[in-house]
Structure 1
Amino acid sequence: MAKSNEPLTESYFYILLCLFNGPNHGYAIMQETATLTGGRVKIGAGTMYGAFTNLLKKEYIVEYSGVENEDRRKLYELTDLGREILQGEIQRLKQLTQNAIEVMSKEEDL
C-alpha cells in the first residue's frame, strides 16, 4: 500500500472520500461533505478548486473520462493511488483513535 508522507487535510480527506464510490463534481462533493459532517466541515468553492488542482498534480484524482453528465460540470474520479492514500489515512486515523482510547481508559481504571 502506498503511504503518504503527510496526513491529509480534512478537505482533501472528504474530497477523496466523496469520490470513493464513483465520479462526482465539486458542488456535489461540497454538499456531501457538509452532510457527512453535520455542517462542521464546509468546503468553499475556492478551496474546492484549489484542492482539485493539487489532488490532480499528486495523481490522487483524474478528470472523469466516461460519459459526460447532463449539466456539463467537470467530474472527477479517484485513482488507484488516491484510493490507497485514502485507505492509508483511514488506517492512520483508526490507530490514533485506538491509542487515545487505550490511554484514556487507563485513567478510568484508577
Structure 2
Amino acid sequence: MPKDLSDLGRFSDPSLLILSSLASGPKHGYAMIEDIAAFSGTRLEPGTLYGALARLERRGWIEALASEERRRPYRMTAAGLHALREQLATMHRIVMIGSQRLSLT
C-alpha cells in the first residue's frame, strides 16, 4: 500500500485554510502562514496566501484592518463566517459518508 499520497493533491484549498485561521481572530499574513501550518500541516507560500486573500476580500468574506507597522492584518466578515460554516458542513457530510462507505468494505 502506498504511503506517499502527494499525487492526490491538496485536501484543503487556501481559502478554507485562511478562513479557518481567521475564525480565531484577526491575523497578518505571516501569522496566518504559521497558524495554518500548525493546524493543518500545510505551509502556504506567500504568493498563494496573498492571492487567496485578494479573492476573499473581493468576495467580502474578509476585510483588511489598519496596518500595524509593515503588517496588514485581516479579519473575517459575517459573510465569511457564513461561508466557512457552509463549507465545513459540506466537508463534514463528505467525511461521514466516506467513513460509512469505508466501513462497508
TM-score range relative to shorter protein: 0.7 to 0.9
Deviation at 1:105, TM superposition (A): 1.4
Q: Name the structure 2 match of 1:30.
A: 33
How much identity, in percent, do the aligned residues show? 27
Q: TM-score, normalised by structure 1?
A: 0.78
- Structure 1: which 5+ runs fail to align? 1-8
Amino acid in the other structure paired with 2:57 = L
Q: Name the structure 2 match of 1:17.
A: 20
Amino acid in the other structure paired with 2:99 = I
Hey, what's the Cα distance between the residues in 2 that align with 1:50 and 1:97?
A: 28
Q: Which has the higher helix share?
A: 2
Aligned length: 94
Q: TM-score, normalised by structure 2?
A: 0.82
Could you say which structure has the greater relative contact order, defined with CA pairs below 8 angstroms and 6 or more residues apart? 1
Deviation at 1:64, TM superposition (A): 2.1
Deviation >6 Å, runs of 4+: none
Give the alignment of 1:1-110 within 5 angstroms: 10-38=13-41, 41-65=42-66, 69=68, 71-107=69-105
- Structure 2: which 5+ runs fail to align? 1-11
